[in-house]
Amino acid sequence: MATGQDKDTVTVDLDPTEVALVIGEEDGAMSVRVVAGSEVPDGASEMPAAPEIVLALAMRLLKDPDFHDDVLDWYYEHQDEDDEEEDEDEDGKK
């Protein structure tokens, strides 16, 4: 976590085809950044699917306060399913 003036940063290398959605919180407010592994050329008639999806998610997170609650609810519901699947996989390997 960043504290005071000494901000720690983490570097992530993205493949040229990858796009990252970076979500943070500062002073109780959510911040959202989109970082692409490569630049979309100026004058491109269409944006590739990955950046377009990430931008749509970022805009929805910023403009729809209930959406992030829905996303968290979905995550927690599916996290339990993933944990159960991992337990089943581990039991099968023993």
Predicted confidence at residue 10, as pLDDT, reads 87
CA distance 74 to 70: 6
CB atoms within 10 A of CB 91: 8
Instruction: Give the largest Cα separation in the chain, rounded.
Output: 56
Would you say residue 56 has pLDDT above 80? yes
* Mean residue pLDDT across the chain: 81
pLDDT category of residue 81 using cuts at 50, 70 and 90:
confident
Give the number of other Cβ atoms within 10 Å of residue 19's Cβ. 20
| Domain extents in the chain | 19-93
Considering the entire predicted model, what is its pTM?
0.64
- Yes or no: say if 67 and 60 are a contact pair by the CB < 8 Å rule: yes
Token code pair at residue 88: 């089943």
